């Protein structure tokens, strides 16, 4: 979640990479 805010400030390409990592982390926290 917080990573997304930082990603938005970064380039779109880096945003996609960080977004993918954030999704994985969020999924791990849910379980």
- pLDDT at 13 (0 to 100): 60
Q: What is the pLDDT of residues 3-31, one digit of tens each?
A: 665 555 555 566 566 666 666 666 666 55
- pLDDT at 29 (0 to 100): 61
pTM: 0.22
- pLDDT at 25 (0 to 100): 61
How far apart, in whole angstroms, are the C-alpha atoms of residue 28 and residue 8?
A: 22
Q: Which residues contact 11 (CB under 8 A, 6 or more apart)?
A: none
**Residue-wise over 1-31: b if at least 16 C-beta within 10 A, else e?**
eeeeeebeeeeeeebeebeeebeeeeeeeee
Q: Which two structure tokens, joined as six digits, stand for 17?
A: 């990479």
- pLDDT at 5 (0 to 100): 58
């Amino acid at each position: 979640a917080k990573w997304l805010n930082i990603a938005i400030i970064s380039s779109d390409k880096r945003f996609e990479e960080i977004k993918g990592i954030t999704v994985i982390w969020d999924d791990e926290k849910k379980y």
